[in-house]
C-alpha cells in the first residue's frame, strides 16, 4: 500500500496540546493529545514549560517522518495568542514564557497610555482593550522597563505560534494573525505597527512580517517537507467557515474562551465595545475581524467542579445532560443546578456575542467543546430567537484552518468544503 499524503498540525492550546494528521480530503488520520505540567516563572507564577515544547515537537515529528504508511508533505502550527517567547542570539529562551493571566502593574500600563492619548484612544487605535498581560505588547514594555539589561540581550521576540514554528524551521518570522490579536502593537487605522512600537524601538526586536501561507523547506529525520510559520488559533478556526459558507454569518468558537467572531462587521470600535472586551483580530488575509471574548470555558470548569463535588457525579455526565427547558429551576438537584449554572454562562456569552452581531447576521455557528453541549445550545437558542443556531461538528477547526491555509502548497486535490465542514441546525426546544 502506498503512503498516504498528509499534513501534520501542532495545535497548541492553553490547556490541551494536540498533533493532528489530515489527509488530502481533510479527514483526520490520527490525533494525539498531550497535557504538559506547568512550571513557574522567576516570581513563582505558573507558566508554560518551554522545554517540553522543544522536546515533544521535534521528537513527534521525527517519529512520523520515519513512518512508511504516511507521507508528510507539510507541517504547520496553530497556537493561542497573547504570549511571547524572548530569544537570545543563540535562539535560546531568555526568560519564562509569561502567562497572560499574570497580574500587570497598572501604573506601568498607564505610563504608556498617557504618552499616546490616553487609554481609550490607545485601545481604539490598537483594537486592544486594556487587559494587562493579555495585551502581549505590554509584556514586552514591562520587560523593557523592569529588566532593561535582559531586554538588551534579547535578539528577537516571537509570538507563540511563530516560536513553535521556529523549533522546526530554525527561522524567525511574524505573521499578521499573531500581531493582530489584542497585542496593543498594531495600529488598525494605519495598518502598521503603532507609533509607540517604533518610537520605543520595539520593532528592532521583532522578526519580519510574512504572509500566513509562507513556508520553509525543512528536513526532518532525512525527509524533506514544507513547514509553515504558524498562526493564531482563533483566526485559524475561522478559515474553514470562510471557505465553506456563502453569505454573512458569525462564529462562536468555544474552548477555554468563548470567542465571538464576525468577519462581516468592520464598523469602528466604540468606547462601549472596548470597555466590554470587544476588539479586532487580523484574519489570515490581513483583513480585520470583529471579535468579543468571554472566559466561558474557564468559568464552566470551575462551576462544574463544584456541582460534581456536591453531588458526587462525574463532570462528563453533567456535560452529556439533555436540555430540559421545563424541568429546571424547581428544587435542588444536579439537573437544576447544572441548568441554572449554564443559564448564567449563556447570558454572559450572549452579551459578549451581541457586541459583534449586526442585523444582516442570521446564522450563528458554534464550534468547539460547547457545540456538543445540548444544555448550552438549547439556552443559546432561547436567548437568540431570531437566529439559526448551528452546531458545528467540524473536527478540530483551529488545526484544520492551519492546514487549509497551506492547501496550495501541499495538497494535490481541489478544495471541497463539503468534505471538511459539517454543521447541523439545532432545533429550538422550548
Q: What is the pLDDT along the chain (430 residues), one digit of tens a residue?
A: 789 999 999 999 887 899 999 999 999 999 999 888 899 999 999 999 998 888 889 999 999 999 999 999 999 999 999 999 999 999 999 999 999 999 999 999 999 999 999 999 999 999 999 999 999 999 999 999 999 999 999 999 999 999 999 999 999 999 999 999 999 999 999 999 999 999 999 999 999 999 999 999 999 999 999 999 999 998 998 999 999 898 899 999 888 889 999 999 989 999 899 989 899 999 999 999 999 989 998 899 999 999 999 999 998 889 899 998 875 557 678 999 999 999 999 999 999 999 999 999 999 999 888 998 999 999 999 999 999 999 987 778 899 999 999 999 999 999 887 777 888 888 654 4
CA-based angle 286:123:347, to the nearest 5?
90
Does the CA dihedral 197-277-388-399 come out positive or negative? Answer: positive
State whether the Cα torsion 348-351-354-356 is positive or negative.
Answer: negative
What domains appear along the chain, each with residue ranges and CATH number? 4-232 (3.30.420.40), 233-425 (3.30.420.40)
Contact assessment for residue 401 and residue 227, using Cβ atoms and an 8 Å cutoff: no
67, 105 contact by CB (below 8 A): no
Amino acid at each position: 500500500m502506498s503512503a498516504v499524503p498528509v499534513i501534520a498540525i501542532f495545535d497548541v492550546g492553553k490547556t490541551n496540546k494536540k498533533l493532528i494528521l489530515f489527509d488530502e480530503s481533510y479527514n483526520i488520520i490520527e490525533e494525539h493529545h498531550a497535557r504538559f505540567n506547568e512550571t513557574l516563572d522567576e516570581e513563582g507564577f505558573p507558566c508554560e514549560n518551554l522545554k517540553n515544547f522543544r522536546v515533544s515537537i521535534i521528537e513527534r515529528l521525527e517519529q512520523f517522518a520515519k513512518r512508511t504508511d504516511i507521507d508528510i508533505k507539510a507541517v504547520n502550527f496553530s497556537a493561542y495568542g497573547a504570549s511571547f517567547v524572548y530569544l537570545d542570539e543563540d535562539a535560546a529562551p531568555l526568560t519564562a514564557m509569561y502567562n497572560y493571566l499574570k497580574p500587570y502593574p497598572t501604573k506601568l500600563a498607564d505610563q504608556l497610555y498617557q504618552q499616546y492619548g490616553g487609554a481609550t484612544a490607545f485601545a481604539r487605535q490598537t483594537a486592544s482593550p486594556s487587559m494587562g498581560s493579555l495585551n502581549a505588547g505590554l509584556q514586552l514594555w514591562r520587560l523593557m522597563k523592569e529588566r532593561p539589561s535582559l531586554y538588551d540581550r534579547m535578539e528577537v521576540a516571537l509570538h507563540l505560534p511563530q516560536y513553535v514554528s521556529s523549533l522546526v524551521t530554525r527561522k524567525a518570522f511574524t505573521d499578521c494573525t499573531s500581531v493582530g490579536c489584542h497585542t496593543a502593537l498594531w495600529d488598525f487605522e494605519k495598518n502598521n505597527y503603532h507609533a509607540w512600537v517604533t518610537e520605543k524601538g520595539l520593532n528592532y526586536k521583532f522578526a519580519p512580517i510574512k504572509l500566513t501561507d509562507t513556508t520553509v523547506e525543512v528536513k526532518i529525520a532525512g525527509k524533506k517537507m514544507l513547514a509553515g510559520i504558524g498562526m493564531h488559533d482563533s483566526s485559524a478556526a475561522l478559515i474553514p467557515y470562510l471557505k465553506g459558507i456563502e453569505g454573512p454569518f458569525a462564529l462562536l468558537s468555544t474552548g477555554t474562551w468563548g470567542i465571538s467572531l464576525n468577519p462581516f462587521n468592520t464598523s469602528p470600535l466604540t468606547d462601549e465595545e472596548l470597555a466590554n472586551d470587544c476588539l479586532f483580530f487580523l484574519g489570515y488575509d490581513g483583513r480585520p475581524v470583529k471579535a468579543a471574548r468571554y472566559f466561558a470555558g474557564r468559568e464552566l470548569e470551575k462551576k462544574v467542579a463544584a456541582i460534581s463535588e456536591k453531588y458526587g457525579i462525574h463532570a462528563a455526565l453533567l456535560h452529556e445532560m439533555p436540555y430540559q427547558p421545563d424541568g429546571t429551576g424547581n428544587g435542588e438537584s444536579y439537573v437544576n443546578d447544572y441548568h441554572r449554572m449554564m443559564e448564567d454562562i449563556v447570558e454572559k456569552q450572549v452579551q459578549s456575542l451581541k457586541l459583534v452581531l449586526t442585523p444582516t447576521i442570521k446564522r450563528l455557528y458554534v464550534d468547539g467543546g460547547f457545540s456538543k453541549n445540548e444544555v448550552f445550545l438549547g439556552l443559546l437558542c432561547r436567548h437568540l430567537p431570531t437566529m439559526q443556531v448551528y452546531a458545528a461538528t467540524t473536527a478540530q477547526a483551529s488545526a484544520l484552518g492551519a492546514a487549509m491555509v497551506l492547501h496550495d502548497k501541499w495538497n494535490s486535490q481541489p478544495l471541497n468544503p463539503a468534505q471538511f465542514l459539517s454543521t447541523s441546525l439545532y432545533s429550538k426546544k422550548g
